Structure 1
């Protein structure tokens, strides 16, 4: 028997025995650094990290330090911290904390998922709101990571349940083609993915075979923010 028929026979045997192919590996701990601009002007630098938290849970964190323009003048810093568990290759939300600190403004948001009760509770300091959870749900901070892993797995279209302020919102994304992208980390032939179900602009460029995070991200919701990858390392 030649190699190809032998492989086909083994594959057929595996299917008969109910043996499944191993799932794609989830990413190891990492640290990435981005330059951040808003309205075309330098705003600051973001550090994004992924770390194991024990008991099958992980922490995904993004810290933006205002170092330019109005952000530096106001001493503005933003931190976002997500705790999640892997559901396949989806970072299924457990909690999310957002904090904005500036000289003239402070803002907080905490989201907690009670999976036994299938409830999400969101508190912005004005009293908690609650709504039903959805399996495989992510939140705004881990969305970029979830999209990168979907592209790595070859998915040209992605629909993700995203926990937002008052509900779980199914958001739709589609790969619109390949584009050359130049960022501080280098020059890449990237896959561009756009959100397709909302007028608010969201575009991200990935090299999914190299990084689970975007090379570049452009988001108009909240004021024309662009992030460009400076460095990425596995920790």
Structure 2
């Protein structure tokens, strides 16, 4: 049998293509723990998990428990749980449930019927309906969907995000590479910001290592900063 010596650059490209294809073929379950601060003060701990439900469906959960200061005194905590299906290389939200407990209980739910392509959102004041968009995610899974896009080499990312009354085409851009130190270690990370809104969103990703940011600061859902403490995957 005749063999050919392939250039190293080609072999590296093939290896990257195989790695990316394997990454995109199906999500890998994980558990990530973050230290949470609010306006520079310790607030609590966030645990983000992804698990398979079988039949191409997955559950993505973000649980924040107040363990310090006023958050601990109030017993403040939040729970965001998304069930999504894997469509091609992207997640598509099927349902999203949010519950925040502090001074009072605040709940939000979203249901997506992909047969009729309709979204139903209920925040306790009546149901809002609007048309679904292929590849649509929800605010809980933005950081995960963004990490998947960065892993695939995208520097400018537009995500269709289902909000209260419609689908927003949220835009994100890699602003450069920065050194970031968090409890999980020191990293050279890609800093990403949201460019279509004045809502503060800033995240630092290491796409070759994690599908989630090693650090995230945002104003939506509270002025919170999350820093990675540990990450585990089977």
TM-score, shorter chain, exceeding 0.5: yes
Which position in structure 2 is the counterpart of 1:74? 74
Which position in structure 2 is the counterpart of 1:30? 30
| Partners of 1:221 and 1:101 in 2: CA distance | 16
| Partners of 1:88 and 1:175 in 2: CA distance | 24
| Partners of 2:120 and 2:227 in 1: CA distance | 32
Tell me the matched-pair count. Answer: 220
| Partners of 1:175 and 1:131 in 2: CA distance | 31
- Judged with a 3 Å threshold, the aligned counterparts in structure 2 of structure 1 residues 64 and 208 are, in CA distance, closer, same or farther, namely same
Residue 145 of structure 1 aligns to a residue in which SS?
helix
| Partners of 2:116 and 2:217 in 1: CA distance | 36
Q: CA deviation at 1:220?
A: 2.0
Alignment of 1:1-235 (within 5 A): 2-4=4-6, 22=21, 24-102=24-102, 104-235=103-234
| Partners of 1:55 and 1:91 in 2: CA distance | 14
TM-score (norm 1): 0.89
- Judged with a 3 Å threshold, the aligned counterparts in structure 2 of structure 1 residues 81 and 223 are, in CA distance, closer, same or farther, namely closer
Cα deviation code 1:188-217 (max 9, x no counterpart): 000111100001110100111111010000
| Partners of 1:223 and 1:233 in 2: CA distance | 26
Q: CA deviation at 1:126?
A: 1.5
Is the contact made by 1:39 and 1:223 (CA closer than 8 Å) also made in structure 2?
A: no
Which position in structure 2 is the counterpart of 1:11? none
Q: CA deviation at 1:91?
A: 1.2
**CA RMSD after TM alignment:** 1.7
Task: List, as ranges, runs of 4+ consecutive aligned residues in structure 1 with deviation greater than 6 Å.
Answer: none
Q: CA deviation at 1:69?
A: 1.6
| Partners of 2:25 and 2:39 in 1: CA distance | 37
Residue 194 of structure 1 aligns to a residue in which SS?
strand
TM-score (norm 2): 0.90
Residue 117 of structure 1 aligns to a residue in which SS?
coil
Residue 232 of structure 1 aligns to a residue in which SS?
strand
| Partners of 1:36 and 1:210 in 2: CA distance | 21
Residue 161 of structure 2 aligns to a residue in which SS?
strand
Q: CA deviation at 1:145?
A: 0.5
| Partners of 2:30 and 2:140 in 1: CA distance | 16
Q: CA deviation at 1:54?
A: 1.6
Which position in structure 2 is the counterpart of 1:15? none
